[in-house]
Amino acid sequence: MKKKIGKQVKMSESELLSSVAAKLKGKSLFPEKVAEARKLIRNLKYFPDI
């Protein structure tokens, strides 16, 4: 539910999160970290049995 404050329209928290979620959909948020992790894993010297 939007609340009017003067001439501004303020989003509710739920609307804000939905708006952010829509902008982030399908995107990698931390691509550099994932790339570093991938590099680290590819160069592992030892990993124990699972």
Partner 1 sequence: MNAEKYETKEEDRSQKGVKYLFTSKGNSPVVKAVHYEYIMNLKELSVYNLGFGDYKDDNINTENGDVYKVFNTVLNTIPKFFELFQNAIIFVMGSDSSPNFVEKCKLTCKKKCTSLCKNQHRRIKAYRYYVDKNFDALRKDYRFLGGKLNIDNQTIIEEYIPHRIYHSVWVMKNNI
Long-range contacts of 25-32 (CB under 8 A, 24+ apart): none
Query: Which x/- pattern, by CB under 8 A, does the window 18-37 give for partner 1?
Result: x-xx--xxx-xxx-xxx-xx
Residue nearer to partner 1 on the CB measure, 7 or 46:
46
**How many other CB atoms are there within 10 angstroms of residue 19's CB atom?**
11
* Whole-angstrom distance, CA of residue 25 vs CA of residue 40: 27
Site for partner 1 contains 43 (CB under 8 A): yes
Q: What are the residues binding partner 1 (CB under 8 A)?
A: 13-14, 16-18, 20-21, 24-26, 28-30, 32-34, 36-38, 40-50
